Amino acid sequence: MKNLLTGDIGGTKTLLQIETSSGVSQQSYASAEYASLQDVVSLFLRESGITRVDAACFALAGPVAGRIGKLTNLPWPDVDADALAAACNIGEVTLINDFAAVGYGLAALRADDLVTLQAGNPQPDGVRLATGPGTGLGVVWLTPQGVHASEGGHADFAPVNEVQKELLFHLRNLYGRATYERIVSGPGLVDVFNFLCGARGYSPPPQLRAAMTEGDAAAAISHFARQDYLAREALDIFISVYGAFVGDLALTLLPRGGIYLAGGISAKIVDELRNGGFLRAFRDKGRFAWLLESFPVHVVTHPTPGLLGARAVIPAKITRE
């Protein structure tokens, strides 16, 4: 059997998996602790005792053009497929966008890998849309012709109420440009919470401040939303903007085959997504609310859909040899 390597490379973590005749092993690394993808891959192969890989596919959280990929939320150098293959003794390296990998992975999902928010009226041959927040905000859509990667998460944020208008100006002051990713992402949730604290003159309780400082700040806000009213408001804004964004994508793409909410955050807040705020914002499209109600909406709960998709991309001719 061939040695096959797959990777899901995000701004927060790099997840690598090796498939050999001995079985499958997997490891997660904190991306920010390394200087490049080559460093992480080399370490993983040494730890796995692998000296030669026949083929690899890496799903990168950023745009991929041919043999070169850019990581949007990491200060790593561009990933050069050929240089990586030579440095790590890999026979063939393929690079794809991380949400393209999610798109390819949808075919491998089972019914129990999904939580349905809206049944809609699915059409088997219809366009499918996958999107969702992690360190960034990914978008991909699928047609009978193939999988189409996108950087739609960087579209300009459009506020729908007064609080969101204030948030828009706050984000412009911070970044010069306010995109949906600046809200619908892990760092975005933190920015929303900090904006509310400043606007309301609110000091978070010591337990929440400690949790944000010592661990994942976005996860801490999400957890404390059950007991802290401003954390709750921040999460509500996050979910509402998320729903409005996905609704805009749905109007653009008409995904009658279904909408799949993925990324590193959606499955972790599935209960909050089911509580109604997401779908209210998703459907709040005036004369076209009826159309939004017709699209199936699911949350992907499988822990590694990107690895499933990356594995599916490795050429069949290699796996058959």
Mean of pLDDT values over 83-102: 96
Mean of pLDDT values over 163-171: 98
| Alpha carbons 247 and 13: distance in angstroms, whole number | 28
Write down the pLDDT at residue 1: 74
Mean of pLDDT values over 13-28: 95
Of 277, 246, 270, residue with least CA distance to 259: 246
Q: Report DSSP letters for 3-54, one per residue.
A: -EEEEEE-SSEEEEEEEETTEEEEEEEEGGGSS-HHHHHHHHHHHHT---BS
| Alpha carbons 240 and 158: distance in angstroms, whole number | 12
Mean of pLDDT values over 38-49: 96
Percent of the chain with pLDDT over 90: 96
Q: Extract the tokens encoding 44.
A: 């993983």
CATH architecture of 153-300: 3-Layer(aba) Sandwich (3.40)
User: Is the pLDDT at 295 greater than 50, yes or no?
Assistant: yes
User: Is the pLDDT at 317 greater than 50, yes or no?
Assistant: no
Write down the pLDDT at residue 138: 96
Mean of pLDDT values over 21-32: 94
| Alpha carbons 321 and 308: distance in angstroms, whole number | 20
Q: Extract the tokens encoding 187.
A: 């760092």
Write down the pLDDT at residue 315: 73
Q: 13-20 and 4-9: which strand pairing?
A: antiparallel
Q: Locate CATH 3.30.420.40 in the chain.
A: 4-103+305-320
* 200-248 pLDDT per residue, tens: 999 999 999 999 999 999 999 999 999 999 999 999 999 999 999 999 9
| Alpha carbons 38 and 194: distance in angstroms, whole number | 35
Write down the pLDDT at residue 238: 98
Mean of pLDDT values over 25-31: 96
Write down the pLDDT at residue 108: 94
Torsion sign over Cα 149, 154, 158, 162: positive
CATH architecture of 4-103+305-320: 2-Layer Sandwich (3.30)
User: Is the pLDDT at 51 greater than 80, yes or no?
Assistant: yes
Percent of the chain with pLDDT over 70: 98
User: Is the pLDDT at 321 greater than 70, yes or no?
Assistant: no
| Alpha carbons 201 and 203: distance in angstroms, whole number | 7
In sequence order, the β-bridge partners of residue 56 are: 5, 93
Q: Locate CATH 3.40.367.20 in the chain.
A: 153-300
Non-local (6+) Cβ contacts of 136 within 8 A are 10, 11, 61, 62, 72, 73, 153, 181, 185
Exposure string of 18-52, with b = 16+ CB inside 10 Å and e = fewer, is bbbeeeeeeeebebeebebbbebbbebbeebebee
Q: 146-150 and 64-65: which strand pairing?
A: unpaired
* 2-11 pLDDT per residue, tens: 999 999 999 9
User: Is the pLDDT at 145 greater than 50, yes or no?
Assistant: yes
What global pTM score does this model have?
A: 0.94
User: Is the pLDDT at 107 greater than 50, yes or no?
Assistant: yes
User: Is the pLDDT at 319 greater than 70, yes or no?
Assistant: no
Q: Can you tell me whether residue 57 is helix, strand or coil?
A: strand
Q: Extract the tokens encoding 69.
A: 């990929």
